[in-house]
Structure 1
Amino acid sequence: MQILSIASGKGGVGKSLVAANLSIALAKAGKKVVLADLDLGGSNLHLILGNRIPEKGIGTLLNKPFTTIDEIIYETDYKNLLFIPGEAELPGAANISATQKKKLIRKLLTLDADYLIADLGAGTSFNTMDMFLLSGQGLIVTTPTLTATLNAYLFLKNAVFRIMSASFPRKSPAFQYLESLRKDGESLQKVFIPRLVENIKKIDPESHALYEERIKSLQPRLILNMLEDPKDANKAGKLRHSCREYLGINLDHLGVMYRDELQTVALNSRLPIVSYKPQSVLSQAIFRIADKILEQENDLAPRPLTFDESETSFQIAELEAETDFNSKMQSLEELLDCGALTQGDLIDTIKSQQFELNMLRRENRFLKNQFVKNNKRK
């Protein structure tokens, strides 16, 4: 079974949309898929799938000793796809203990499936990090906005630190060195990881060797969602550069997805977009991402991604952004020609997009001003 942990540095980037629709796409390809809602405390994946509110979920499994995992697995309307709900209404579900986390991981690893797709909560809690690191090839979903890409970078930085913490025995020189940095929160936040790793190599070669072996398994894959324009795809290049230069990892780009108002219509209809309109630009992008995952499925112990391979994946994504934009424009022209979309509808859509762009510009100006103020203080 291959595990696809789907995470994001912040909420509202379409992570659950990706998880639900990607699960269906892989199931349609003949793969046996289990989709698990691990956004504990904020579970809503059943709404995207169109399922009714489940009676039992992961909260039941963790809090009622005699519950088996088979009792919380539900069939869906889609062949080959099973669903494990998170049960958001259970008090304290988001704050599970280390013992409960280990129990949950053990149960999940017993599942009989080709793919386990885990929709994780946003943010960088230890529970989210550990679930993400179950899969070395976890998916990080973000959008072209500055805050979203920054949070995606910080998420991956925290993943690297989590691997470090697990690699250094508690009484080792490496652990003590990391703890001394951790006590000074500012130092740890600004630390240059490649230099940190070099320092650890000097003071604790044994711990360094264990870290180097474990970090090889971290091969995160990017999905850039909610594009408005082909130029948006270029913004992911900064994230790739930061991951390579400051974290020492190469990022693989799985693909881009444009913002589509049909997604809202599909959600209101209690249908995933790949079922509501399979031929839409958004649906085709999801199927394309699924195809890339299927191409890589035989690589159970992936080798570290090279710089050239990472660069190529980003170049391909930029080409896909151009292609999808042209398809989107063609679809709009066809809707205008056949009368399904009036000029008034088109004007309203453009006005809405202009409003969103203005909001993003204001956010960008605010962040720049904060950056300048912080630099002046230093």
Structure 2
Amino acid sequence: MASPTTIIPIASGKGGVGKTLLAANLAIALARAGHTTVAVDLDLGGSNLHTYLGIPNKHPGIGDFLKGKQLSFRSLALPTEIPHLSFVPGDGKTPFMANIPPEQRRLLIQEIMAIPARYVLLDLGAGSSFNTLNFFGITHRAMVVSTFETAAIMNFLTFLRNFMFRLLTSAFKKNPQVHDQLFNAFRQSGLGKPATVTSLLDMAARLDPGLADDTRQRLRSYRPRILFNMGENPEELQVCVSLHKSIQTHLGLDAEFFGFIRYDDTVRRAARSNGALLQEFPDCPAARCITALAARIIEHWDTGWSANPDSLRDDTRNSYRQ
């Protein structure tokens, strides 16, 4: 019996954290492990996943599909020179794709859900656009990439907050009074009275306890996986303990700290050569980390990783000793 398709959206709170390079090479690593894998460029308005896969930007992509150019979505998938790996280009040379309307977004999600592969990796745009937040929510397990820089950490926390607010907005539409109070809380937040997911759920519970309970259950089903890129040593992962507590307290989320990629000058060399890191430098430290991350995904993504925020640090320490 064939394994079900696992869709992994990959997001980041800001640009410059290595999300797209990671998505490309993680797709390569999963394919090398023998799994049919499709890498989809969903950074509409700024697609460049092809560059990190070493593929020229000359093929029709999602932009052409959405513009009605008589293409089926499946026809967009390009076989690559790497066995088991295909690639779906993004906007390519089609302009004005950054903000697609809801009906096109729903069509795109429907097509992505039907991709016949073991793993489907979605390289999302950086930041918190509605497109990105909706694509991130395709599944209950998605990846957020950050570095250890304060700005990057603050931005990934903001991304998760915006994602949760997006879920609340959708759920609270069932009760206009609760929905109106939600937007009033958003306005007050802009005036220096910050709203948290917990406080918004408490507000909803006073007006509609059943809706609040249903929404809490829905939110608890989401388990974002955090990956730190460009790390210099395992001790940086001590920050996971405070982050885990903050995410639980303010967002009501149980995030899992899933991966650590070492800082490696070789990554820049691969990017400048327009080649894939795992193809050009398969034994460099960053490539080995990505290969190990792929193995962890194969073993744990569908079943759950440790909820203990210290687990990633302990695991990374062990890898440094090897």
Alignment partner of 1:201 is 2:214: no
CA distance in 2, matches of 1:201, 1:5: 31
Partner of 2:45: 41
Question: Looking at CA atoms only, which structure, 1 or 2, has the larger radius of gyration?
Answer: 1
Preserved CA contact (<8 Å) 2:241 2:310: no
The CA deviation at 1:95 is 1.3
Deviations 1:306-351 (A, max 9, x none): xxx422xx32321344345566xxxxxxxxxxxxxxxxxxxxxxxx
From 124, 147, 150, the equivalent of 1:120 is: 124
Partner of 2:76: 72
Query: Which residue, out of 134, 155, 160, partners 2:138?
Result: 134
Aligned to 1:12: 16
Could you tell which deviates more after superposition, 116-125 or 183-192? 183-192
Alignment-mate amino acid for residue 35 of structure 1: A
What residue number does 1:163 align with?
A: 167
Task: Find the partner of 2:312 among 306, 310, 317.
Answer: 317
Say whether 1:21 aligns with 2:25.
yes
1:153-187: per-residue Cα shift (whole Å, max 9, x none)? 01001111111111112543321210221233426
Of 50-59 and 193-202, more deviation after overlay is shown by 193-202
Distance 1:153 1:258 in 2: 21
Tell me if 1:221 matches 2:225: yes
Shift of 1:270: 2.9
Amino acid at match of 2:311: I
In terms of mean alpha carbon deviation, does 136-145 or 222-231 score higher?
Answer: 222-231
Q: Which amino acid aligns with 2:198?
A: P
Secondary structure at the aligned position of 2:291 is classed as helix
Instruction: Return the structure number with greater helix share.
Output: 1
What amino acid does structure 2 have at the position aligned with 1:129? Answer: L
The worse-fitting range, judged by mean Cα deviation, of 53-62 and 88-97 is: 88-97
> Comparing 42-51 with 82-91, which one deviates more in the overlay?
82-91
| Deviation string, structure 1 residues 335-372 (Cα, Å, up to 9, x no partner) | xxxxxxxxxxxxxxxxxxxxxxxxxxxxxxxxxxxxxx
Distance 1:215 1:186 in 2: 24
Residue 206 of structure 1 deviates from its aligned partner by 2.4
After the TM superposition, which residues 1-378 of structure 1 pair with which residues of structure 2 at under 5 Å, given as runs?
1-64=5-68, 66-169=70-173, 171-186=175-190, 190-299=194-303, 309-311=306-308, 314-323=309-318, 325=320
- Distance in 2 between residues matched to 1:256 and 1:45, nearest whole Å: 21
Percent identity reads 31
**Residue 26 of structure 1 aligns to which amino acid in structure 2?**
L
Q: Secondary structure at the match of 1:310?
A: coil
Q: Distance in 1 between matches of 2:172 and 2:214?
A: 8
For these two proteins, the number of residue pairs brought into alignment is 318
Q: Distance in 1 between matches of 2:228 and 2:301?
A: 21
TM-score scaled by structure 1? 0.79
Query: Deviations along 1:214-260, whole A, 9 cap, x unmatched?
Result: 21221000100111233322233332221011111111111111110
- Secondary structure of 2:9 counterpart: strand
Structure 1, unaligned runs of 5 or more: 328-378
Rounded to whole Å, the distance in 2 between the matches of 1:100 and 1:42 is 18
SS of equivalent residue, structure 1 residue 190: coil
TM-aligned CA distance change 1:230 to 1:295, over 3 Å: closer
Contact persistence 1:69–1:107 (CA under 8 A)? yes
d(CA) in 1 for partners of 2:301 and 2:311? 20
- Report the Cα distance in structure 2 between the residues aligned to 1:168 and 1:188, rounded to whole angstroms: 23
Which is further off, 233-242 or 196-205?
Answer: 233-242
Contact between 1:174 and 1:203, CA under 8 Å: does it hold in 2? yes
Indicate if the aligned counterparts of 1:58 and 1:86 stay in contact, CA closer than 8 A: yes
The letter for the 2-side match of 1:86 is G
Task: Tell me how large the CA RMSD over aligned residues is.
Answer: 2.0
Q: SS of the counterpart of 1:184?
A: helix
Paired with 1:231 and 1:189, the residues of 2 have a C-alpha distance of: 35
Cα deviation code 1:27-72 (max 9, x no counterpart): 1111111100001111111111001113311100000252211221
Which runs of at least 4 in structure 1 moved beyond 4 Å after TM superposition? 323-327
CA distance in 2, matches of 1:79, 1:189: 53
Kindly indicate whether structure 1 or structure 2 has the higher relative contact order, using CA contacts under 8 Å at least 6 residues apart: 2
3-state SS of 2:226 partner: strand
Give me the whole-angstrom Cα distance separating, in 2, the residues matched to 1:273 and 1:203: 53
